[in-house]
Chains A and B, each alone.
Chain A
């Protein structure tokens, strides 16, 4: 399988993660903010983590459904189910956190799609743009992005590499997850009251 077709076959999965995961999550959080209902939750006994997990559960579930759907429709052969699921899970947490940040930063549901646009371009489309870019530094940066990490993991798995070979990619992905999660908590603490 050459690289171009692989990119195309994994592209729906990445796009599913960002659109279903991040954008639905952002819209849901933003709606709570826009309609002032978030404060009711904040003043209830539910803790920060409970609220965030509760908010993420539905969009997480939907994302998984969409990913399964896109795998079926694109006919992508899942290489190693366990490692593949692990990478999807890490990606999911990262995109949900990104979506929560987007939702917290925007005041209305409309606004999420505006400030979400750069996120969509960077995390969603960068794999497509990569062949066009010639600047080496830029390519290196693009390759560090979580969607590229996911791609590299999936390519690696398709090529029959084992867990040890993709450990570095998993680690970088995990860093993204940790950073986005911490950032979510910080922004949440600052932004929660309107």
Chain B
């Protein structure tokens, strides 16, 4: 059952796109995490509570426009923001009682204090609580009136393990009651640790991150690894049971994803998302969007898989996505670097042998014609930069 719908929602400020149009529907019994930059998340929350103007689209709680009727719907929504504050001079018990009366609900404060693990501190002044305890109290305030929709901004930022466990329990409980939680965070790991439904929202739009539990994940990876062998089998042999055929038809879709592990979850990346892969202490790290994710596959296996997508083994321990290369820089005659077109302008090494390979397989025409005439000056950065930037994506 749908609870919250965002239809064609868009936010622009002047000519800057905060996020382009997207649709997102939250169903009951779901915990959804939205991974985005803090300010993007802030905009989204402010749009939901009706403070910020919505550039386009609408936000519906069941069938009512949430942003326009927030006050009347506020009994159905629990909100905990990053910079929320508490009354320092009250105790947690008094604070929750105050909000209980504001919301006019009938609940047991003690049960709630138990739930957020603050029963021992019920009569301590809030100013004497630790940061994590305060965060738990915020959580308690947000769930106090048993809202249908719980919106949490960075709920696990800087809190201790004890509070994280409490948070997990509260979320689990919330979900079991058929309610919905929307978690807005800029941290992948925290998003993944709280739920399996993770989206990423940025100026390019909303994208679902595919996550699976570790056990299933392993099976899938094994299947994927087995698969190339199956494909090698001649098709004539397909007089055999049709199930294999079906598997073969389904499998190519799976093959395109590259798995990476975060805690006990596995994320699947589109190869085109990956900027480069680095091997460090024998573990491959996928670099995606400025973040690094360890991957169980070896660099060789990865290269085999990534090769068809325009990846290039530029160094013994690096694979690079050629689409993302902006410049080739020559430091000395034998040392080269690739500057990438990501936010950090990462620079990765290019071995000398691989440079020739790059010339041969990728830019044969361009590089050879140029290098015949200007052999050594070719790779001076100033000379090459415009060419590589312009041509590499096409060759």
Interface residues of A (CB under 8 A from B): 35-37, 39-41, 43-47, 193
Contacts and interface: CB of A to CB of B under 8 A. Distances in A.
8 contacts: A35-B87, A35-B88, A36-B85, A40-B85, A43-B79, A44-B99, A45-B72, A45-B74
B104 interface: yes
Kindly name the residue among B49, B81, B102 whose own CB sees the greatest number of chain A CB atoms within 10 A. Answer: B102
Q: Which of A37, A45, A193 has the most CB of B within 10 A?
A: A45
Contacts of B88: 35
A46 B102 CA distance: 6
A17 B84 CA distance: 33
Interface residues of B, number: 20
Interface in B77-110: 79, 81, 83-88, 99, 102-104
Q: What is the predominant secondary structure among interface residues of chain A facing chain B?
A: loop
Given A44-B99, A45-B102, A45-B103, A35 B85 contact: yes
User: Of residues A35, A43, A46, A47, which shows the largest number of chain B Cβ atoms within 10 Å of its Cβ?
Assistant: A43
Contacts of A36: 83-85
A71 B339 CA distance: 81
Contact of B75 (A35, A39, A41, A45): A45
B390 interface: no
B86 A37 contact: yes
Contacts of A41: 102
Nearest to A47: B71
A2 B394 CA distance: 98
Contacts of B84: 36, 39-40
B51 A45 contact: no
A47 B72 CA distance: 9
Contacts of A35: 85, 87-88
B97 to A, nearest CB: 14
B141 interface: yes
B104 A45 contact: yes
B68 to A, nearest CB: 15
B71 A45 contact: yes
A43 B85 contact: no
- Residue picked from B51, B83, B88, B99, most chain A C-beta under 10 Å: B51
A139 to B, nearest CB: 46
Contacts of B49: 43
Interface of B: 49, 51, 70-72, 74-75, 79, 81, 83-88, 99, 102-104, 141
A44 B83 contact: no
A111 B51 CA distance: 26
A36 B138 CA distance: 13
Contacts of B72: 45
A37 B74 contact: no
Contacts of B75: 45
B103 A40 contact: no
**B49, B71, B104 interface centre (most CB from chain A within 10 Å):** B71
A14 B354 CA distance: 88
A84 to B, nearest CB: 35
A41 B102 CA distance: 8
B51 A193 contact: yes
A35 B81 CA distance: 14
B267 to A, nearest CB: 34
Given A43-B49, A44-B99, A37 B87 contact: yes
Nearest to B79: A43
Nearest to A48: B71
B77 to A, nearest CB: 8
A21 B161 CA distance: 47
A110 B81 CA distance: 26
Nearest to B105: A45
Contacts of A44: 74, 99, 102-103
A37 B103 contact: no
A43 B99 CA distance: 11
A140 to B, nearest CB: 44
A17 B152 CA distance: 43
Contacts of B87: 35, 37
A43 B86 contact: no
Given A43-B74, A46-B102, 6 more contacts: A36-B84, A39-B84, A40-B141, A44-B103, A45-B71, A45-B74
Nearest to A34: B85
Nearest to A51: B102
Nearest to A194: B83
Contacts of B102: 41, 44-46
B31 to A, nearest CB: 21
A36 B86 CA distance: 8
A28 to B, nearest CB: 12
Contacts of A37: 85-87
Contacts of A40: 84-85, 99, 141
A47 B102 CA distance: 10
Contacts of B74: 43-45
Contacts of A39: 81, 84-85
A109 to B, nearest CB: 13
Contacts of B79: 43
A74 B141 CA distance: 48
A41 B104 CA distance: 13
A136 B88 CA distance: 52
